[in-house]
Amino acid sequence: MRAGTGAGRGRRAALAGVLGVALAAGVTVADPALAQPSPSANHGKRGEDAHPSPGPGRDDRGNGQQERRGNRHRAVPVKGPVLAAGDSADSKAPTGSGLRSALGSTVQDKSLGTLNFAVADAATGEFLFGSQENAPATPASTTKLATSVAALALLPADHRIATTVVQGAPGQITLVGGGDPTLTALPADQIKVGGAGVDAESAPASMAELARRTAAALKAAGTTSVKLAYDTSLYTGPLLHKDHDAMNIAAVTPLMVDEGRIDPRSPDEAPARVFDPAGQAADSFANFLKAEGITVQGKPAQATAGAGAQELARVESPVIGRLVERLLTASDNTLAEAVARQVAIAAGQPASFDGAAKAVTDRLTALGVPLTGVVITDGSGLAKANLIPPITLVKVLAAAASPDHPELRPVLTGLPIAGFTGTLVNRFGAKSGAAEAAGIVRAKTGTLQGVNTLAGTVVDADGRVLAFALMTRTTADPTAARAAVDRIVARIAACGC
């Protein structure tokens, strides 16, 4: 142990008891200077990366309801804060040689196959240790880190996605999609995100409320019967992701309700999706209008709203920071693609897969993130063609932790907490060999066939916040590969080196 590390260890130990109580109560303890996550972002009990064998092309999805229920209330040892200040005045970053010694044989586990990794000081962004850290690798869902950072860097903190209704031709109204896939048809008391309810800040916009506001405007004008059209012209390019399977992701359209789920109440992590999300949303809106006393003539038809059409009503999504927390914690592919298109629109690019990818990479370049070898073709990470080196991911995380970019904090607060939330709920358990890192690791998972990635932040034994990215390609059992990755992170957490 280096001289002067006792203070950091003492601070970490002192916070351990507080953290354990807070997490048991469903509260996240973090650096007070950082934005706090919404309850929905931190309470989601999803276990996407805990499933034994995701099928080809599946990213962080599966059928793990039985396992998740069994682990929901398990005790997990906690020994430090999920996020510390990383103050260089009273803690030091580990050395490269210290990390090499601490990691030892864990990075040679055969289950890892080919391993690319990088560890950096989150406080400064300085690279500390790694292997093939500059070599591009398949990122899977850690691509969402890039999407999220770009969105928060480009869009104002109060940015919300609006769904509107405008006056069309005489006797016609048009429902206009603005790109909010979280718009819901469910009553407020039935809305669940990651298995938990939502608060006022994270609650999605309501289709029923949009119908109420529209009906009020129509009745005020003396109208009780209309034809309904719906407009999906905001997006361009292909409707379907190249790896679309109608479960892990819906058709990418600017108008949908409950992310195109056939059953909006389904707890499945990869629920069945409707073929036509926009048509489903229009039908839902028509039914809500009828409940409000407005007759809808015939079936809703697709049309483009005229420029300058009078707005009758609108509802809006949560702010962009809450959307980012939700998409990261739950590894939400459909929401990630929608957020990527918001980046494209703000950047003046086409709202398509290609336009979003260009807008994201352009924004990362403006932030000074190294993009040598980077290939991004979507916003979610479902694409097997994506390539990102580990060094790029740790630089993205370091930017999110930088005091120069407080607008990026929702990236950190949205990361799943090891052993407790989101896609890490069933990892870092008591028998994993990585249990001591539970509660002090926050990381984004990524899973595709033969690919397991993990990138996030960890507080080391000296109280220093480190950013890490581990990327594997292996033929080993996915559960074994993920456990091997977790053991590496646990060694990083234990490092006072």
Active site residues: 141, 144, 331
- Contact present, 68 and 46 (Cβ < 8 Å): yes
Q: Are the CB atoms for 494 and 486 separated by under 8 Å?
A: no
**Residue 32 to residue 275: CA distance in whole angstroms:** 45
Residue with tokens 């469903």: 26
Cα→Cα distances 404→293, 346, 367, Å: 52, 22, 11
Q: Indicate the Cα dihedral angle 279, 281, 286, 287, nearest 10°.
A: 120
Pairing of strands 172-176, 225-231: parallel
| DSSP H or E run through 392 | helix 390-401
DSSP states along 301-325:
EE--PPTTPPEEEEEEPPPHHHHHH
Q: Which helix (H) or strand (E) holds 204?
A: none
Contacts of 281 (CB under 8 A, 6+ apart): 175, 177, 183, 207, 230, 255, 256, 257
CB 260 within 8 A of CB 181: yes
DSSP assignment of 47-88, as one string? -GGG-S-PPTT--S----HHHHHHHTT------S-SS----T
Q: Please provide residue 123's backbone torsions phi and psi, each rounded to the nearest 5 degrees.
A: -70, -30
Cβ-based neighbours of 25, under 8 Å, separated by 6 or more:
none
Structure tokens at 387: 């390539």
| Interatomic CA distance for residues 488 and 111, integer angstroms | 12
> Locate tokens 């890892």: which residue?
112
Rounded distance between C-alpha atoms, residue 454 and residue 395, angstroms: 14
Which secondary-structure segment (H or E) carries 342? helix 333-347
